[in-house]
Each structure stands twice: as structure tokens, then as C-alpha cells.
Amino acid sequence: MKPLPVDEIAAAALAGLPGVGRATLRDLWKNHGSPECALGAVLAGAAGPALRRWADLDDWPERCRPDVVAARLARHRVRVLLPDQADWPIPPDLADAPALLFTRGSAYEALQRPAVAIVGTRAASPHGLADAHELASHATRAGYVVVSGLALGIDAAAHRGALDAGGLTVGVVATGPDVTYPRRHDLLYAAVHRQGLTLGEEGFGAGPLEWRFPVRNRLIAALAAVVVVVEAHERGGALDTATHAVGLGRPLLVVPGSRRNPAASGTNALLRDGATPLLDPTDLLVALERACHTPQRYAISAPIPVSATGSPHAEAASAPQSGPQRSAAARTILAACHGEAATIDELVTRSGLGTAEVSGALRELERVGAVERRHGRIWPR
Amino acid sequence: MLASIPSATVVGVDGHLVHVEVHVAPGLPAYDLVGLPDASGRESRERVRAAFASSGLEWPLRRITVNLAPAALRKTGSGLDAAIACGVLLASGQLPEHSLRDTGVVGELGLDGSLRRVPGVLAIVACLARHGVRRVVVPAEAAREAALAGSVEVLPAATLTEAVTCLRGEWPWPTAPEADPTQPFVSADGVDLADVRGLAVARTALAASAAGGHHLLLVGPPGAGKTMLARRLPTILAPLDHAHALEVTRVHSAAGLASGDHLVTTPPFRAPHHGASAPALIGGGVSRIRPGEITLASRGVLFLDELGEFAPSVLDALRQPLEDGSVLVCRSGSSVELPAHFVLVACANPCPCGRAPDRCRCSEAHRAKYRNRLSAPLLDRFDLRLYVDQPSPSDPPGPGSAEVRARVAEAVARQRARYTNFPFERNAQLPAPLLGELAPLGSDAAAELHDIALVRRLSGRGTARIHKVARTLADLDGAAAIEAAHIAAASELRSDVL
């Protein structure tokens, strides 16, 4: 392994000091020219008053020792990106830009391609999860990178959609590069590291503190050419990302939902406030093409052609129609669902069939994945 | 002179034989009571002496020693007063030598010489009968209860004087009242199943639980009608048969819950609050082991509302009794086996705020924590698990309690007939290896069950549970064979609710 650049080690060392935030770091970069010089100045005690406080800390020179920091970076296979580097992914239009990024993963080309952010609530309905997965795989097949927040629910479904379609995905995290949050996303983190990367501005060991998530959300919006909100509650981080998207002038696409679906209350409110409705995966592809009207600028190496039918547009239009022959009872039940979640009692009442018949029809539909049972309800896909 | 009178003390919910030995010897007047009585037993000396004076009997001014044998068993309560009094009378020659042959004595003495009832008369008399005692002197007010034990002659006496007079043969014993075998059916608080609108599937589950003895878990948002539904379960339970009624009466009398004047034929329905401790639920206590709620609910229903609010350790303590139908409560002093053949009916909210999936505001971590309070092994014990959603006001009301109760009673009778030669009597207790023999499936039904197991990815145990519930649904329908429709309907009664 080639030795890590000195600037990156110095930047990571300074970012690891307690109480040193991106504003302090940006000042250091500005005042001293490079992180290496900044670290030298800090060690010599010549840095600004903000850093003096930490001079009392017993072990702080120890924490800043380049070999210790370098070993830590190498152990976790973490790379540090700095604003003056050629592959710095944050566009210059982001106010309050990070002073450095900790990245981890194997596919750095993901940061050079046009990306779509797909975000939403953690407590998503099966409809929302299916939508996020589907949109992510369509975007992936059209050659775009999927950016999301590695949270439960919509975020995870979006990452999985990209991974399943064989594409690249970027997880923007609010924690340190060595922290997995939520813990149950262990495998998803590993898959993202293999087929993309995770990226965040917090140093080693930074835990999932509440204030870090809104700060992280601005990066998601900044990294993407288009932001999609699939399902969101009226209060939540997804709406925060939407606000950042509007602030940065990124096109905001929102998937409409039923007024009975509480997970769609926030997205429907966004639509009322003027966001663009996303009615079909094609809408997303059109918006992406329009947003990246000069795709050459990003030098797409090769769009990943996974779809057998060729154009993702054609596939999106034709996919849901074809299906196996269904029994009369199954058709009745699907019609009785009206495309929304229903309890079995409701289906019995609406269809006029007996419980046993409804049960059999549901099983037929479950087998082909046309409906899903969750929270004691039946959800048509 | 020495006298030995058989009596009994209540240990747990069963009687335990105690021989009251009284020795009256020349010497300075003294009274010693040995053989581990509790505080109320030690106080018997004052009650017995006062009762002697009030009844015009002579208290022997000699050295009196009373031993409660076996000496190592801890005796509880005041039920041995009358036996001690009779022992003193016999040992001091105030009663003829053979007047108490094969005769047990039970009851507490009042200072005026009256004979009072104690909890657990039925358990005590049944124990005496089991040990070959032919006649038992009981307080007159408990004569009906004692008569329930059968196979023993009940000698009722209202006062010590009356007992002595009759024992001396100076007066005939009053005739013992007949055991009252029935108790009129009382609908709990006048509620009826017809009050519930909609919830057809949940109502089927309730009937299946009442008929087949299947444990039932209802999950749903507050106000959906879970508790309303569960509270109506007592109105559709089949009455107890004689053996079970006797058992329940004995337990309830020993626990001081029922007077015991009537045979309890209505299955018990116990609904402890979720603050209950493990000993309160399972049984326990320090000096005296008291039956817990599961024993009081034996042969009936234990209803746990807000299951998620019970301490997880308390809930997991239920697992073994659920499996065995009894619980062995052990303390350093003693251990007692208590019956616990109950059907567990529980209600729970789907998440801490109770509004899932619609308006839930709980974080995923909160919900996971809530789910983890209910251990998977406990959830697995529920044959019937379903999600109850708020019915709409336009839903039609279902059949009333009387109609459902009749179907349940028929289903129970059918199961009893089928399982006469087996050590169980409800479909829920059917062991999996006997399913093929006792609940055979036709080819249609077997194919349906196989298909369900495949689509729902059920384990062998999950499949067996659907099989058993299908047997109950067939019994409720009066069908001899399990049909495919029963299997399909049964599969809807066991979903992943949390």
C-alpha cells in the first residue's frame, strides 16, 4: 500500500481533536495554506485561540501523531478528501461546505458521476419501500449513481435497489467512518463499501447524535443532481433534505401517496407546496437527463446496461402489465384492495367471499408477490 | 389419657392430613401446643379455653400437651381449633371413648363456643375422605361445601355444645344439606358478544379459543375493541364438567375466593393488572404458599390486558406452566404443586404509542425494544394471533353470546368424546405426533396445509398449530372431517402480529 499523503493525515489528525469543527478547520486551511502546515502550527502552539484550550489536554499531541492517525486510517481503509483535491465531490455552490470528508469504499468513480438522491422516512409502508427500490434500480440502469443516507426504510431500499441493479451507490453518513448506524445495517454497509462508498464529515468514533443528521442531509442534497422524496412523515429528516435541495436549486421530485397513508403525509405536503410529482419512473429519468443536460462534463465512462429489454423507459412502461393468469377470486380480491392496504375483514366485506376463499386467493397473490402481509394488513404491490 | 383426632390443613390449594394429638396428664395445670402452628394456630389456646367456658364444658386443670402431627409440616390457619377442643374433651373423658372413631373434625372456634367456617373446607374434607375418614364434623355454615366432597358423612354443628351433645349420642345429628351441583349461569356484567360490531375474523378466533382451549393474542391500536372482545369471552365459555367444577371449587375455596356453597360451574376468568409480580401470577409467599392467578384461572381463562406492559420476567415465568398445566412453587421451607390448566388470552398494542401502523410516531428503535419485551418463545405459545383493526360503525353486529356458547359447548362435547381415552381433552393440547391419528386430513386439506406452509414459510410447529386450530373450527362447524376451508380459515387466525 502506498503511503498516505501527508496532508490527509494531518487533516484527519486535526479533525480528531475534540471541539474542532468544520469552521475551525476551514480557518486553519485558509490561514496556514495546507493541513500539514496547520498541524505544524498547532503542535508548535502557534495556532489561533480556539485551539489553545486543548493544549491542556494531556494526550493531545499523542492523538495528533501522524503515525497513529495514519495507522487508524489504514486499519479502517478510510481515505480523506480535501477541498483542494481534484476529486473533491462537493460542488462549490454549497454554503457551509465541509472542511474534509472521510470516505470508505472501493468505487471512487461513484463521486464523478451524476447522481440522484432517493430519501424518505424510516417507518415506510411496503408501497414506499417498493417504490424506492424500483426508482433506484431504474436510475442505476440509466447510469446514475444513487445517493442516500443508509437509514432504515426508504434509504435502505434505495441503496438495495441500486446494488441489486448492479450499480454504484453512495451512503452519506452522519457518524464517523468507523461507526455503523443503525447496527442492523452491517451487511448493507459492507455491500455499499464493495459497490460504492460511504462518506461523511465526522471523525473516528463519532456516534449517531441527533444534531448530526440535519447537517448530513445538506450533503445528500449537494451531491445529487436531482432529489427524490419517496415517503415522508410531516416531521422528519427527509423534508430537511428536500429543503436543502430547494435551497441549492436541485430539482425536487416527490412521490404522491394516499391521504390514508401516514407515511405520505409529509410528501403530500411537499406536493401541495409546489414540488414536482413523480408519477412514473420515467419522470425521474427525464428530470435527471434535463438536470445533467451536458452529461459529457461528468465523463460517464459507460452506463451500466443491465436491463435485458434495453431502454429503461420501455421497461418501466411495460413491466407491471404482464402477469400470470389469476383466478377469479384473486382478481376480485385485488380489485377489492383498490390498490391500498386493507384488513382481511374489509376484504371479506367488500368481496362478498368467505374467509377461507379470501385466504386462498390471498395465498395465490402472495405466492407471486402481488400482495404482502404486514402489520396485520394486506398490501397490494 | 391420649386422643388423636384427624383433621387437615391447607397447603397450596390441597388439604394435607394432620393428626391432632392431645395428651392430658396429671401435674401442674399447663397447656403446650407443638407441631409448627402459625400465629393464628398458636392463638387457638385462648379461643378453645374461652369456648369451653362458654359451652359449660370443663377445662381440665392438668398438664395438656397438643401435638399437630406430622410435626415438621407447617400448619396454617385456625381450622384445627375444633379438633383440638374435641381432643381435649376426649382425653379428659368428657366424650365417650369411641364417639370419635373414624371421625375428622374441622372448624374454628368462637369465644362463645360457635363453630366457624375456614377457607378450604372442601379441600380439607376431600383430603380426610382420601385418608379413610368416614365422618367429618364441620361448621354448619360450611356443610354444603363439605357435602361436595362426597363419599364421606358430613356432621354439621353450629356450636361446640351441639357437636358434643351429638357426639355423646344425646341428640341425633342434624341432616346434612344436599350438595348443590349447579350454579345459575351469570353473564359477566350483562355484556354480550352481540355488542361487538365487525371483527368477524377476531370473533371466529374468540370462539375457537373458547372451544379448543387455544391461547389467543389480540394486537391492535387502542379502541379497536380488543379488550371489549376479550371481556366477552366468559359469556361464550362452555360450563365445566363435574370433575373440573369440583377442582375449581376446591381451589377457589382454599384461596378464599368462593364460599364453596355452590359448585362453581362457570369457568373462572381472571384478569390481573399488569403490575402483577411473578409470585402473584405464578403463586408463592414466604411462610405459606398461596396460589397465584394462573392457579385461580385453572380450567378457565387468564386474561392479560396490555401484555407489553407486564415485566418481561413475569411473562417468561408463564412459559413452563403454559406447557405443563401445573406449576411447582418451591420455597426454602416447602414446595407445592399447583394446578394451572388455563387458557391465556392477551391483548397488546402494536407499538408503545399504540397507533401503528397508521399514525405511529414511535422510532424504529422504540418499536424494536417494545417487541423484544415479548419473547419469541412466549409469542409462539399463542395458537391464535391476530391483528384487530378498528371496525367501521357500519359493520354489522355478529351473533350473540348465547348462540356462540351453544356452538362452543357442542364443540367441547365433541372433543371430549374424541379424546376419552387420552390424557387431554382439548384440541390445543393435542400432541403433534397424534395429529395424524386424531385429526386426520383429507387429501384436499393436506394439500392446502402444505401450500400454506410453503407460501408463509411456516415451521413444522407453526404448521401443526394451524392443523389443531383447523380441527377446532371443524368442531365448531359440527364437521367430522377437517376440510380445506377450515385449514384456510385457521391460517388467517395465526399471523405475525408484532
Question: Is B456 in Cβ contact with A366 (below 8 Å)?
Answer: yes
This complex has an ipTM of: 0.71
Q: Which residue of A has its CA nearest to B457?
A: A367
**Region B245-258 average pLDDT:** 84
Grid cell 409467599 in the structure block, residue: B285
Least confident of B109-113, B125-129, B243-247: B243-247
Rounded Cα distance, A196 and A175, in Å: 17
pLDDT in tens, A63-115: 778 888 888 898 989 999 998 888 899 988 888 899 999 999 988 888 988 99
Given this model, what pLDDT does residue A324 score?
A: 58
Given this model, what pLDDT does residue A57 score?
A: 60
Would you place residue A377 in the very low, low, confident or very high pLDDT band (cuts 50, 70, 90)?
confident
Q: Which residue of A has its CA nearest to B396?
A: A349
SS3 A282: helix
Give kind and range of the element (H or E) at residue A29. helix A22-32
Would you place residue A147 in the very low, low, confident or very high pLDDT band (cuts 50, 70, 90)?
very high
Radius of gyration of chain B (CA): 27
Grid cell 405459545 in the structure block, residue: B381
Question: Is A375 in Cβ contact with B201 (below 8 Å)?
Answer: no
Q: Which residue of B has its CA nearest to A261?
A: B358
Partner B contacted by A301 (CB < 8 A) = no
- Angle, helices B121-130 vs B242-254, to 10°: value is 120
Share of chain A above pLDDT 70, in %: 86
Partner B contacted by A149 (CB < 8 A) = no
pLDDT in tens, B385-436: 988 887 777 777 788 888 898 899 999 999 999 988 888 888 988 888 888 8
Q: Which residue of A has its CA nearest to B395?
A: A349
Nearest 5 degrees, angle CA A275-CA A276-CA A282? 155
Three-state SS string over B354-383 comes to: CCCCCCCCCCHHHHHHHHHHCCHHHHHCCC
Q: How far away is chain B from the Cα of A170, in angstroms, using its nearest Cα? A: 23
For B199, phi and psi rounded to 5 degrees?
Answer: 55, 45
Q: Which of B348, A88, A99, B171 is nearest to B156 (CA)?
A: B171
Q: Which residue of A has its CA nearest to B498?
A: A375
Binding-face residues of A in 258-287 toward B, CB within 8 A: 260, 262
Would you place residue B92 in the very low, low, confident or very high pLDDT band (cuts 50, 70, 90)?
very high
Given this model, what pLDDT does residue B190 score?
A: 73
Are the CB atoms for B190 and B173 separated by under 8 Å? no
Question: Is B386 in Cβ contact with A153 (below 8 Å)?
Answer: no
Question: Is A373 in Cβ contact with B495 (below 8 Å)?
Answer: yes
Q: Report CA torsion sign: B449, B450, B456, B458.
A: positive
Using a CB-CB cut-off of 8 Å, the residues of chain A touching B388 are: 376
A299: how many CB neighbours lie within 10 A of its CB?
Answer: 9
Question: Is A345 in Cβ contact with B199 (below 8 Å)?
Answer: yes
SS3 B115: strand
pLDDT in tens, A316-344: 433 444 455 788 888 888 888 887 888 88
Least confident of A52-56, A219-223, B236-240: A52-56
pTM for the predicted model, two decimal places: 0.73
- Per CB distance under 8 Å, which residues of B are interface residues toward A? 198-202, 204, 219-220, 350, 356-361, 363-365, 386-389, 391, 395, 448, 451-452, 455-456, 484-486, 488-489, 491-492, 495-497
Q: Which residue of B has its CA nearest to A368?
A: B455
Amino acid symbol at B120: G
Using a CB-CB cut-off of 8 Å, the residues of chain B touching A357 are: 485, 488
Whether pLDDT at A226 is above 80: yes
Whether pLDDT at A296 is above 70: no
**A344 vs B486, B492, B496: nearest CB:** B492
Q: Which of B64, B58, B26, B62 is nearest to B45 (CA)?
A: B64
Q: Which residue of B has its CA nearest to A361?
A: B488
Binding-face residues of A in 107-126 toward B, CB within 8 A: 122-123, 125
Q: How far away is chain A from the Cα of B146, in angstroms, using its nearest Cα? A: 50
Residue A81: beta bridge partners?
A101
Rounded Cα distance, B406 and B39, in Å: 49
Would you place residue A60 in the very low, low, confident or very high pLDDT band (cuts 50, 70, 90)?
low
Whether pLDDT at A312 is above 70: no
Question: Is A374 in Cβ contact with B489 (below 8 Å)?
Answer: no
How many CB pairs below 8 A link A and B? 79
A325: Cβ–Cβ under 8 A, 6 or more apart, which residues? Answer: none
Nearest 5 degrees, angle CA B133-CA B135-CA B138? 115
Beta strands in chain A (DSSP E): 78-81, 101-105, 115-119, 145-148, 169-172, 196-200, 226-229, 252-254, 276-277, 371-374, 377-380
pLDDT in tens, B188-239: 567 888 888 878 888 889 999 999 999 999 988 887 888 888 888 888 888 8
Using a CB-CB cut-off of 8 Å, the residues of chain B touching A354 are: 485
Given this model, what pLDDT does residue B358 score?
A: 63
Q: How far away is chain A from the Cα of B265, in angstroms, using its nearest Cα? A: 34
Given this model, what pLDDT does residue B160 score?
A: 94
Q: How does the average pLDDT of chain A come out, rounded?
A: 83
**Region A56-68 average pLDDT:** 72
pLDDT in tens, B10-69: 888 888 999 999 999 999 999 999 988 888 888 999 999 999 999 999 999 999 999 998
Which string of DSSP letters, residue by residue, matches A344-361? HHHHHHHH---HHHHHHH
Rounded Cα distance, A20 and A36, in Å: 16
Whether pLDDT at B279 is above 60: yes
For chain A, the farthest-separated pair of C-alpha atoms sits apart, in whole angstroms, at 83
pLDDT in tens, B322-373: 888 888 888 776 788 889 999 999 998 888 877 656 667 777 777 788 888 8
Given this model, what pLDDT does residue A221 score?
A: 93
Are the CB atoms for B78 and B114 separated by under 8 Å? no
SS3 A94: coil
